[in-house]
């Protein structure tokens, strides 16, 4: 029988170096093998090293530590070497930098206007987006402040604004406050009260039948409103401005929506035309400005011919014509009589409701009359002496004459019904004007400077219906006839004769015609 034996031989060195114990071991071998020893060195009484600790710093360079313990044996403590080891470590994270305080703000006003109070000031910390830490230290400071001592009675400051009314109807209340200067509190040491209360919105709340309900019309939603209120909406997408609609009461006290108003709506095409007008007005050369105005007139005539516009477009067109006429006064371009067709289209009876709507914003038809008068004299100044122009449209007749001051050729009869090109409505009209030629005399001071008269007469077919309603309900409506003479003749004995036929065709809302003696 054969047995393999493992021998472990322990040798003790009688003179160990540094009191260290050397251990020699032999790996397992067969009993028949010769004894060959292979030594291992170490501390048999020491445990294994621990894991390295976490780095002492979370950023930058720090330290790591590991340790081991020494185990006692029957032969004493035989451990050698250190029981603790240290090494450097580096974290990849960038260490944050402490934030920097900005300058202190100025001190606040003293908390009181008399006596002792306090003031405060603050500062801000400048912190970077990446890797900056908060600033250290306080962000605010407080100090005492002293004002002259408070007297026996304070002074009231100004009242602040009234608050909103607590109710929209059926009598609510509002309140406002004031501060007693020098104390920062209400009512001390000032005499009187620091609060006022008053009633507001005393009107009665509308009954259900006095309220217009939500309604969708003209591609708009009109929100509910009580009688007498006006609701606003944005104009349709092809225009700018605001549309409005008023909630009304009928004879039985029941609320209903009135028609929408587009007097503040301007179509985009008219808006663009106005921008083009401004560009031409900015031109420095008179000739270029005049030619630009000619193009504006043609474009406006084209837009008006479409008959698709808002009431606000009518007012806007009056403003465009006014600018055009003012430019013609300074430019070399002379307007043509055919340009009057724009005015005729604007005064078409189909626009009656639009003019009524427009008059809520501006008396546009009255302004249009003044523009036409200026327009007439621009044409008249370009005429030759004794020459006359006649313009006849569906809605107005205009005659323009240029006569020498020294010798007006003949009396003026208007309209001349037998003249060629006259419209049927003018031939059958009973309205007429007679101006004796003796009227046209100037004072001696003006006769040398002004060699010619420009005489313009206009008969409007529809303007009497379009004008704003008269204040006097007893006036009689008629066509409107205007006469303009430049320069003004001096008053003479012969009288100007005007005959206007009233409109009696069942008109329930007659328009006003006024003869102003003091304004020839």
Name the E strands within 57-124: 60-67, 84-91, 97-98, 100-101, 116-122
pLDDT higher than threshold 50 for residue 127: yes
Q: Bigger pLDDT: 421 or 39?
A: 421
pLDDT of 311 reads 92
pLDDT of 493 reads 66
pLDDT of 14 reads 42
CA distances from 507 to 328, 352, 433, 438, 481 (A): 40, 14, 24, 39, 19
Taking the C-alpha atoms of residue 495 and residue 439, their distance in angstroms, rounded to an integer, is 8
Express as a percent the part of the chain with pLDDT over 70.
74
Task: State both tokens at 379.
Answer: 């044409």
Cis status, amide bond into 415, omega within 30 of 0: yes
pLDDT higher than threshold 60 for residue 520: no
What phi, psi does 119 have (nearest 5°)? -130, 150
Where are the chain's structural domains? 97-146, 208-257, 383-520
pLDDT higher than threshold 90 for residue 110: no
Task: Identify the band that residue 416 occupies on the pLDDT scale cut at 50, 70 and 90.
Answer: confident
Q: pLDDT of 351-370, one tens digit each? A: 999 999 998 888 888 888 88
Task: Identify the band that residue 265 occupies on the pLDDT scale cut at 50, 70 and 90.
Answer: very high
Task: Identify the band that residue 78 occupies on the pLDDT scale cut at 50, 70 and 90.
Answer: low
Task: Identify the band that residue 508 occupies on the pLDDT scale cut at 50, 70 and 90.
Answer: very low
What phi, psi does 262 have (nearest 5°)? -115, 25
pLDDT of 283 reads 67
Task: Write down the mean pLDDT value for the chain.
Answer: 76
pLDDT of 247 reads 93
pLDDT higher than threshold 50 for residue 348: yes
Contact 398, 341 (CB under 8 A): no
pLDDT higher than threshold 50 for residue 16: no
Q: pLDDT of 434-459, one tens digit each? A: 888 888 777 666 555 667 788 888 88
Please report which helix (H) or strand (E) contains residue 377, including its range: helix 364-381
pLDDT of 400 reads 85
Lowest mean pLDDT of 5-19, 126-140, 167-181, 386-400, name the range.
5-19
pLDDT of 292 reads 74
Domain 97-146 is found in CATH 3.40.630.30: no
Tokens 């291992």 belong to residue: 40
Spell out the residues 6+ positions from residue 424 whose beta carbon is closer than 8 angstroms to its own.
none
Q: Bigger pLDDT: 232 or 19?
A: 232
Q: pLDDT of 305-341, one tens digit each? A: 888 889 999 999 998 888 887 777 666 556 666 678 8
Taking the C-alpha atoms of residue 202 and residue 192, their distance in angstroms, rounded to an integer, is 28
Lowest mean pLDDT of 51-60, 310-319, 387-396, 471-480, name the range.
471-480
Record: fold of 208-257:
Hormone receptor fold (4.10.1240)
Q: Map 443-492 to HEC letters.
A: CHHHHCCCCEEEEEEEEECCHHHHCCCCCCCCCCCECEEEEEEECCCCCC
Taking the C-alpha atoms of residue 369 and residue 327, their distance in angstroms, rounded to an integer, is 18
Q: pLDDT of 454-505, one tens digit each? A: 888 888 888 888 887 777 666 666 788 888 888 877 776 667 788 777 765 4
pLDDT of 338 reads 63
Which CATH number among 2.40.420.20, 3.40.47.10, 1.10.3720.10, 2.60.220.50 corresponds to the domain 383-520? 2.60.220.50
Spell out the residues 6+ positions from residue 509 whose beta carbon is closer than 8 angstroms to its own.
469
Spell out the residues 6+ positions from residue 516 whose beta carbon is closer than 8 angstroms to its own.
none
Lowest mean pLDDT of 54-58, 61-65, 500-504, name the range.
500-504
pLDDT of 170 reads 79
Mean pLDDT, rounded, for 292-305:
86
Q: What is the pTM of this model?
A: 0.56
Q: pLDDT of 17-36, one tens digit each? A: 444 444 444 444 444 444 44
Taking the C-alpha atoms of residue 352 and residue 218, their distance in angstroms, rounded to an integer, is 20
Contact 88, 123 (CB under 8 A): no
pLDDT of 485 reads 83
pLDDT of 152 reads 56
What is the rounded end-to-end Cα distance, in angstroms, of the chain?
A: 159
Q: Bigger pLDDT: 161 or 21?
A: 161
pLDDT of 25 reads 41
What phi, psi does 339 have (nearest 5°)? -65, -15
Highest mean pLDDT among 157-161, 375-379, 425-429, 440-444: 157-161
Burial of 200 (0-12, 13-18, 19+ CB in 10 A): middle
CA distances from 20 to 8, 14, 75, 80 (A): 19, 11, 12, 6
Q: pLDDT of 193-230, one tens digit each? A: 888 999 898 888 888 888 899 998 888 899 999 888 89
Task: Identify the band that residue 6 occupies on the pLDDT scale cut at 50, 70 and 90.
Answer: very low
């Amino acid at each position: 029988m054969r047995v393999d034996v493992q021998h472990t031989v322990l040798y003790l060195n009688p003179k160990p170096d540094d009191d260290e114990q050397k251990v020699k071991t032999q790996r397992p071998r067969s009993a028949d093998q010769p004894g060959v020893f292979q030594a291992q060195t170490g501390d048999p009484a020491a445990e294994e090293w621990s894991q390295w600790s976490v780095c002492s710093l979370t950023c930058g360079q720090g330290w790591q530590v590991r340790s081991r313990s020494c185990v006692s044996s029957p032969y004493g403590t035989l451990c050698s070497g250190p029981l603790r080891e240290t090494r450097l470590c580096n974290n990849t994270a960038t260490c944050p930098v402490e934030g920097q305080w900005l300058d202190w703000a100025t001190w606040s006003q003293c908390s009181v206007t008399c006596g002792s109070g306090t003031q405060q000031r603050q500062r801000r910390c400048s912190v970077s987006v990446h890797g900056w830490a908060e600033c250290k230290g306080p962000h605010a400071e407080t100090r005492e402040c002293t004002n002259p001592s408070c007297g026996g009675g304070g002074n009231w400051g100004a009242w602040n604004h009234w608050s909103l009314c607590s109710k929209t109807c059926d009598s609510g209340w509002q309140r406002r406050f004031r501060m007693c200067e020098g104390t920062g509190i209400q009512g001390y040491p000032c005499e009187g009260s620091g609060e006022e209360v008053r009633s507001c919105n005393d009107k009665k709340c509308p009954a259900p039948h006095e309220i217009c309900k939500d309604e969708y019309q003209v591609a708009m939603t009109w929100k509910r409103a009580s009688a007498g209120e006006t609701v606003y909406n944005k104009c349709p997408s092809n225009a700018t401005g605001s549309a409005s609609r008023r909630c009304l009461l009928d004879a039985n006290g029941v609320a209903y929506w009135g028609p929408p108003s587009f007097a503040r709506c301007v179509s985009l095409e008219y808006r663009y035309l106005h921008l083009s007008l401004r560009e031409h007005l900015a031109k420095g050369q008179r000739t270029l400005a005049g030619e630009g105005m000619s193009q504006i007139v043609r474009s406006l005539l084209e837009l008006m011919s479409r008959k698709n516009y808002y009431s606000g477009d009518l007012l806007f067109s009056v403003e465009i014509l006014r600018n055009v006429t003012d430019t013609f006064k300074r430019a070399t371009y002379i307007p043509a009589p055919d340009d009057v067709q724009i005015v005729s289209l604007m005064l078409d009876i189909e626009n009656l409701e639009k003019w009524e709507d427009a008059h809520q914003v501006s008396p546009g038809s009255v302004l249009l009359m003044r523009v036409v008068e200026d327009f007439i004299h621009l044409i008249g100044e370009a005429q030759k002496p004794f020459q006359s122009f006649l313009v006849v449209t569906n809605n107005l007749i205009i005659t323009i004459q240029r006569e020498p001051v020294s010798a007006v050729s003949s009396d003026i009869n208007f309209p001349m019904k037998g003249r060629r090109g006259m419209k049927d409505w003018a031939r059958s009209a009973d309205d007429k004007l007679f101006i004796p030629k003796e009227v046209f005399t100037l004072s001696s001071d003006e006769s040398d400077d002004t060699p010619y008269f420009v005489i313009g007469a206009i008969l409007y077919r529809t303007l009497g219906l379009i004008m704003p309603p008269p204040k006097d309900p007893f006036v009689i409506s008629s066509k409107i006839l205007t006469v303009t003479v430049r320069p003004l003749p001096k008053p003479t004995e012969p009288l100007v004769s005007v005959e206007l036929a009233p409109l009696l065709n069942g008109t329930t809302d007659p328009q006003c015609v006024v003869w102003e003696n003091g304004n020839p």
